[in-house]
Amino acid sequence: MIELRGISKAYETGAGPVHALNSVGLKIESGEFLSIMGQSGSGKSTLMNIMGCLDRSTEGQYLLEDLDVANLSDKSRSALRGRWFGFIFQNYNLLPRLSALEQVELPLLYNRIPDRRRRAAEALEQLGLSDRIYHRPSQLSGGQQQRVAIARSLVANPQVVLADEPTGALDTDTGNEIMGILSDLVKERQITLVVVTHELHIANWSNRSILMRDGLIIEDSIIAR
Ligand code: ADP
Ligand code: MG
């Protein structure tokens, strides 16, 4: 479903280019639960941002099904992003002044999907947040905020969910609870899930783990159960 071929990314900075990815090749099948591990600065977020069409590579080919994403215009890429991907971030990325319900309605608004209120309420209910739909982020715990963000990532029915250190701001128990929710989702909805983490016990929830170092994938292994 996702295929990266020779993907490189150089960031231009005042001090010259920073090579964040150095010819990465990666194939992800539909329904896979992949974790991306590696030290800080190894290129995990860069890779994830390119996969999610949030950023573009400086070299290489990105095939999403049959579509050559690397050559699309910014406008087509952002339409593709809305239709294909849901995102979850370490710091939840919720808007401080919106209620949980309004946060989850946003992807529906962007994708012009009707019946927003009902769909958003349903998504929150599935995350066990029925009694929190009018709460703002500051009135929710970290775990609850991340569950709102998960509901938001799923409400428009994406095929792929990309999570960049989704448990990074949570304690171990809450982190495991979030990973349990994500792992059930893969099974129930046949979503493709990619989770960036630097913690082994988080990666162990996945079915396949790649390890990055200096902008390269240096290991790619199936996780035995
Ligand atoms: P990770 O997520 O594994 O910590 P990143 O993908 O964020 O790694 O970063 C990879 C490399 O690219 C690092 O050296 C980082 O400093 C650099 N980098 C990331 N984003 C930018 C940017 N916007 N401008 C310049 N350099 C960047
Ligand atoms: Mg990162």
d(C-alpha 202, C-alpha 196), whole Å: 9
70 pLDDT more than 90: no
- Measured from the CB, is residue 13 less than 6 Å from ligand 1? yes
CA 41 / ligand 2 centre spacing (Å): 7
Residue 86 clears pLDDT 90, i.e. is over it: yes
Residues 11-59: tens digit of each pLDDT? 999 999 999 999 999 999 999 999 999 999 999 999 999 999 999 999 9
The two three-digit tokens of residue 182, written as one number: 């994500």
Hey, is 151 helix, strand or coil? helix
Q: Which residues of 215-225 are buried (b: 16+ CB within 10 A; e: fewer)?
A: bebeeeeeeee
What is the signed CA dihedral for 46, 5, 219, 13, rounded to 10 degrees?
Answer: -30
Per DSSP, what are the bridge partners of residue 28?
2
CA 10 to ligand 1 center in whole angstroms: 9
Q: 99, 135 in Cβ contact below 8 A?
A: yes
- Global pTM exceeds 0.85: yes
Whether 178 contacts 104, CB under 8 Å: no
DSSP 137: G
86 CB within 6 A, ligand 1: no
> How many other C-beta atoms can be found within 10 angstroms of the C-beta atom of residue 148?
26
- Using a 6 Å cutoff on CB, does residue 44 contact ligand 1? yes
Average of per-residue pLDDT values in the chain = 96
Bridge-partner residues for 194, per DSSP?
A: 34, 162
Residue 131 has pLDDT above 90, yes or no: yes
Rg (the chain; Cα; Å):
17
Question: Phi, psi (5° rounding) for residue 179?
Answer: -65, -35
Ligand 1 pocket check for 46: Cβ under 6 Å: yes
- Please give the Cα distance from 8 to 19 (Å, whole number): 8
Which pLDDT score is estimated for 225? 74
CA 164 to CA 194: how far, in whole Å? Answer: 8
Handedness of CA 143, 126, 108, 51 (dihedral sign): positive
